[in-house]
Amino acid sequence: MARKVCLVHYHEIGLKGKNRSTFENRLVTNLRRSLGDYPVEGVRRISGHVLVTFEGEATVEEAHAISRVPGVARVSLAYLCGLDEGEYCAAAVQALREAGDFVSFKVHARRSSTTYGLHTLDINRLVGAALCEEFPDRRVEMHKPDVTVMVVVVNGSVYVYAASEPGVGGLPVGTAGKVVTLLSSGFDSPVATWMVGRRGATCVPVHFSGRPMTPDTSEYLTQDIVRALAPSGVVGRLYVVPFGARQREISLAVPQSLRIISYRRVMFSVAERIAQLEGAKAIVTGESLGQVASQTLDNIAAVNEVVSLPVLRPLIGSDKQEIMRRAEQIGTYDISCETAPDCCTLFMPRRPETHARLDQVHEAWESFDHDAMIEELVNGIEYVDYDQCPSYRPPRMLRRRHHVLGPRSQ
């Protein structure tokens, strides 16, 4: 008897060569973790797909949860049948009945199992005849039909479906190494974090808080953002750096116009130190070219100068509207709409420099003991762990887990 399952389709993974199984196995692991709250019976690889079965019938809710996992191109609620012709023809009728309103349809059969006697054209005719008999007032349309009924013969079973939900695509988290991301409670950096996670990176966000000069509201919003990203499984640990007092020191030492650049040079330096602790290979920011004063080419170069790791800027060519639409898609928009004072609003200059000269930046940089400040900030970092990222492994020096924000010295 046919039962409903989730058939997971991927695209980029299918283009891989001899290491394809590595990507497939990582996707299987990530799906198991992301579906931890559902009654999963099994997650396993089959030819060209991943099959997810549940203790009962698979539902739209479970398919939606699967669609949010990076590496999933689309997911289909499919009927799993045996090779009995009557069984999979009946399943095709039921699948088309559940497809909603339609005028035209077609059948498209694919066969990965060459041991099955019927050719795909024979399957098309067989299932098409059953559907025409059941839906005599609907027409068969080979080009651009309203609904396509898929009949896929794989590993001695037949999967029948007529509807699929698009996935986020990309590559499974954990296949592209580890990165440190600069994460605020605004719109840009959560989207940047999600985008590099969608490319397979394990993300370790670092939030610079205005504490003790501002309330810790932004820290709670940032944690809400990490929880909103939980279905994608891109984050395993969040670091928080209380930065407010050090910002005040910088604001008193450097020219007003160069405050932001000096703040960001310190932030990048601390992020690089955390990356070294974590074994991360790059730093990620949510910068978009020309969006604010610190994001001009001259100022980006002045900040990049202090780090040796690559700095990835996935949003560099995006405008604010594009970023906000993406924030809605990934579930962080409403959180980022909440206002909270943080280090980004603390001790801001009236007229920030937009085209910094390196000699002036160097002079400002030497006007305070930046090495001691960076060391102090690294020693004062706090962190909280999440169970949403199976590819995350904590560094040896900071292996103790914290379920609420706690300092590294504990």
What are the residues facing 354 on neighbouring strands? Answer: none
Sequential DSSP letters for 10-63: -SGGGG--TTHHHHHHHHHHHHHHHTTTS-EEEEEEETTEEEEEESS---HHHH
The token pair at 182 is 């600069």
- Is 291 annotated in a binding site? The answer is no
Spell out where 55-94 has E strands. 74-81
Q: b or e along 289-326 (b: 16 or more beta carbons within 10 Å of the residue's beta carbon)?
A: eebebbbbeebbebbbebbebebbbbbbebeeeebbeb
3-state secondary structure of 379: helix
- Is 236 annotated in a binding site? The answer is no
3-state secondary structure of 165: strand
- Is 208 annotated in a binding site? The answer is yes
Compute how many other C-beta atoms are within 10 angstroms of the C-beta atom of residue 203. Answer: 29
- Cα separation, 8 vs 71, in Å, equals 10
Sequential DSSP letters for 198-222: HBTPEEEEEEEE-TTTS-SHHHHHH
**Is the CB of residue 305 less than 8 Å from the CB of residue 298?**
no
Whether the link from the prior residue into 310 is cis, omega within 30° of 0, is no
- Is 295 annotated in a binding site? The answer is yes
**Is the CB of residue 356 less than 8 Å from the CB of residue 363?**
no
- Is 346 annotated in a binding site? The answer is no
- Binding site feature residues: 182-183, 207-208, 264, 286, 295
Name the binding residues for ATP.
Answer: 182-183, 207-208, 264, 286, 295
